[in-house]
Chains A and B, each alone.
Chain A
Amino acid sequence: MEQSEQEIPIQTELPKPAVRQTTGERTAETTPPTVFDAKNVSIYYGAFRAVTDVSLNIHENEITAFIGPSGCGKTTVLRTLNRMNDLVPGARVEGEVQYRGASLYASGVSPIAVRRRIGMVFQKPNPFPKSIYDNVAYGPRINGEHNKGKLNEIVETSLRGAALWDEVKDRLNNSGLGLSGGQAQRLCIARTIAVEPDVILMDEPCSALDPIATGAIEDLMHEIKSRYTIVIVTHNMQQATRVSDRTAFYSVLRNEKSDTRTGVLVEYGQTEQIFQDPTDPRTQAYVSGRMG
């Protein structure tokens, strides 16, 4: 409890993510601080083991992509990082997930406090049936901010931050449900950054969007990554190469006897390395399009 209640400094400026050399030899880079440290994480739904033995570090101000075929547990792992799986009856996590030195699944840790710091954007845009303004102001309000001037300011900065302000500034009182898919997703991102989280988890945020809206969201991710740590699940390998610094490739392990499928983390590394020089043959097969 104490650990989770610690004030986490919100990075407004720095530290900058490590700049990588894309040409010539890969330089020995300075690794940014670790935000998530998962060790031997297995996730169960009831008796069914959905994901087994995932270990990885996620670094500050980087975009980390989770890729892999359907049913490999990418989303399950993502939802473990802000305890969204608590909402699924029977879900259970084994192993250790550390967030900035604090264990996420220790007893006494409040999932509310966790989600306050680790926001999430979902696959299907899910604006609330409220006005655009109230959608963005929702998070600050539930966290106790009721000052009108302050809220106006937060709504404007957040909408600007999500590159949506110019499109909606004249109709803030219209319903959030009247927006197009891409706008609605950017509204959801604005809603998430309005509470100034430390980490933003994105679960296939562009899978319901057209290429132009997808481009807008990807540009947005690049813009905001200096302030947030982003983890994104994507089915789209091109998207992973475009946006991410590191990529984790997950695959499915089939148990022939019990006919169950379990997700495993196959390979995790710098995005270029995963796509250009994968060490595991399964990664090689997937990124070259021969499988999945």
Chain B
Amino acid sequence: MAVVTEQQGVDLREPRGWRRTSNRIATVLMVVSFVVVLIPLGFVLFTVIAKGASVISWQFLTGSPIPPNVLPANIGGMWPAILGTLEITGLATVLAVPLGVLGAIYLNEYGGKNWLAALIGFMSDVMTGVPSIIMGLFIFSIWVLHFGFSGLAGAFALGCLMLPIVIRSTYEMLRLVPNSLREGSYALGATKSRVTLTVVLPAAIGGIVSGALLAVARAAGETAPLLFTILVVTEPNPNVFSGANTSLPSQIFVNASSPYVGAQDRGWGAALTLIAICFILMIVARLVTARFARYTH
């Protein structure tokens, strides 16, 4: 013991030099980029809340019709647009998510390396890059021209937007499921469909739900594809399958481009409502996923 105390303690500090410097630079850069990313996000949120919060009231959320531009914000309400957004986005989700998940299952579990799977995978990636207004025009020409404007047409357009996102994110999640799990299931005499349903999908469910949610949030905020497919109305239309409809993004667009103060306030209120809906949706989905995925850790 005495010997140890006489010695200078071993210097275990990180030695000076490039390694220590570069470590510090990298740390600072990461913190800075995090803050930089947060600035626009916080600014958007702050502006929307600051300008929209004063408009939000029970009357605003549940009242209708949406008043003409010239009227102040405390008359009528945004209910037609809230209803429209819920209907159309909901229907688009019902159309696109099951189809997208099934498509991804085909690509990863069944398609293997065959040409059809390669083609579908490639086309869905290409579809991700198609501007949303093109989707609206596409549905306009093949559906709206024949059957008229409706929430359904809007749901088709939003569904087309969501599909490639759902396929891509689900596919990536399925690829992450280790093969050893599949083999373990096969070794117990499971069929391929059993393996997929009882092992692969449950193992990937968290990521699949996250991906689907991103797609839903993206679709809920789309304006362009809806302009050609649902028009903009001021009365609530509970029938999603027929008649023109409206949505929150459409109302933001219409009201914000108006010169009247009341309309602009309504626009901010609609924006805040839309953000709040997406936020609530995210929280609900997280809770649901946590329940599904409680054994994955």
Residues of A within 8 A of B (CB): 82, 84, 87, 89, 112-113, 115-117, 119-120, 122, 124, 126-131, 134, 138-139, 142-143, 175-177, 188, 191-192, 195
User: Which B residues from 172 to 218 make CB contacts under 8 A with A?
Assistant: 178, 180-191, 194, 198-199, 202-203
**Highest count of chain B CB atoms <10 Å: which of A129, A176, A191:** A129
Decide if B295 touches A131 in the complex (CB within 8 Å).
yes
Q: How far is the CA of A16 from the CA of B295 in the complex (A)?
A: 41
**B297, CB-defined interface residue at 8 Å:** yes
**B112, CB-defined interface residue at 8 Å:** yes
B182 CB contacts on chain A under 8 angstroms = 87
Decide if B190 touches A188 in the complex (CB within 8 Å).
no
Q: How far is the CA of A188 from the CA of B293 in the complex (A)?
A: 20
Decide if B183 touches A122 in the complex (CB within 8 Å).
yes
Decide if B296 touches A175 in the complex (CB within 8 Å).
yes
Nearest A residue to B205 by beta-carbon distance? A129
A113 CB contacts on chain B under 8 angstroms = 189
Q: Answer whether A129 and B190 are a contact pair too, CB < 8 Å, given A87-B183, A89-B112.
A: no
**B113, CB-defined interface residue at 8 Å:** yes
> Which of these, B180, B187, B297, contacts A82 with CB under 8 Å?
B187
> Which of these, A129, A139, A195, contacts B203 with CB under 8 Å?
A129
**Highest count of chain A CB atoms <10 Å: which of B182, B189, B198, B293:** B189
Decide if A115 touches B295 in the complex (CB within 8 Å).
no
A139 CB contacts on chain B under 8 angstroms = 188-189
Decide if B189 touches A176 in the complex (CB within 8 Å).
no
Please give me the 4 A-B residue pairs with the lowest Cβ-Cβ distance, nearest first: A116-B189, A120-B187, A126-B180, A139-B188
Decide if B185 touches A175 in the complex (CB within 8 Å).
no
A195 CB contacts on chain B under 8 angstroms = 188-189
Nearest B residue to A82 by beta-carbon distance? B187
Decide if A192 touches B187 in the complex (CB within 8 Å).
yes
Decide if B187 touches A177 in the complex (CB within 8 Å).
no
Give 18 A-B pairs besides A112-B190, A142-B194 with Cβ atoms closer than 8 angstroms: A89-B113, A117-B189, A120-B183, A122-B180, A122-B187, A126-B178, A126-B183, A128-B203, A129-B202, A129-B203, A134-B295, A138-B198, A139-B188, A139-B189, A143-B189, A177-B296, A188-B184, A195-B189
Nearest A residue to B113 by beta-carbon distance? A89
Decide if B297 touches A115 in the complex (CB within 8 Å).
no
- Shortest CB-to-CB span from A8 to chain B, Å, is 13
B191 CB contacts on chain A under 8 angstroms = 112
Decide if A128 touches B184 in the complex (CB within 8 Å).
yes
Decide if A191 touches B188 in the complex (CB within 8 Å).
yes
Residues of B in contact (CB 8 Å), total 25
Nearest A residue to B177 by beta-carbon distance? A129
Q: How far is the CA of A87 from the CA of B185 in the complex (A)?
A: 12
Chosen A-B contacts, 23 in total, with CB atoms closer than 8 Å, are A82-B187, A84-B186, A113-B189, A115-B188, A115-B189, A116-B189, A119-B188, A120-B187, A122-B187, A126-B184, A128-B185, A128-B199, A129-B203, A129-B293, A130-B202, A130-B295, A134-B295, A138-B188, A139-B188, A142-B190, A176-B295, A191-B184, A195-B188
Q: How far is the CA of A131 from the CA of B295 in the complex (A)?
A: 6
- Shortest CB-to-CB span from B207 to chain A, Å, is 12
> Which of these, A112, A120, A129, A191, contacts B295 with CB under 8 Å?
A129
Q: Mark interface residues in B56-99 (1 if CB within 8 Å of A CB, else 0).
A: 00000000000000000000000000000000000000000000
- Shortest CB-to-CB span from B146 to chain A, Å, is 45
Q: How far is the CA of A123 from the CA of B297 in the complex (A)?
A: 21
**B294, CB-defined interface residue at 8 Å:** yes
A131 CB contacts on chain B under 8 angstroms = 295
Decide if B180 touches A124 in the complex (CB within 8 Å).
yes
> Which of these, B113, B180, B199, B294, contacts A175 with CB under 8 Å?
B294
- Shortest CB-to-CB span from A115 to chain B, Å, is 5
Decide if A192 touches B181 in the complex (CB within 8 Å).
no
Q: How far is the CA of A122 from the CA of B182 in the complex (A)?
A: 12
- Shortest CB-to-CB span from B118 to chain A, Å, is 14
A117 CB contacts on chain B under 8 angstroms = 189
Q: How far is the CA of A115 from the CA of B198 in the complex (A)?
A: 17
Decide if A177 touches B297 in the complex (CB within 8 Å).
yes
Nearest B residue to A120 by beta-carbon distance? B187
- Shortest CB-to-CB span from A142 to chain B, Å, is 5
Q: Mark interface residues in B271-297 (1 if CB within 8 Å of A CB, else 0).
A: 000000000000000000000011111
Q: How far is the CA of A139 from the CA of B188 in the complex (A)?
A: 6
B180 CB contacts on chain A under 8 angstroms = 122, 124, 126
Decide if B184 touches A112 in the complex (CB within 8 Å).
no
- Shortest CB-to-CB span from A159 to chain B, Å, is 16
Q: Answer whether A138 and B185 are a contact pair too, CB < 8 Å, given A112-B191, A175-B297, A177-B297.
A: yes
- Shortest CB-to-CB span from A181 to chain B, Å, is 14
Q: How far is the CA of A89 from the CA of B297 in the complex (A)?
A: 31
User: Which B residues from 104 to 135 make CB contacts under 8 A with A?
Assistant: 112-113
A126 CB contacts on chain B under 8 angstroms = 178, 180-181, 183-184
Q: How far is the CA of A115 from the CA of B185 in the complex (A)?
A: 10
Q: Answer whether A122 and B190 are a contact pair too, CB < 8 Å, given A89-B112, A128-B199, A177-B295.
A: no
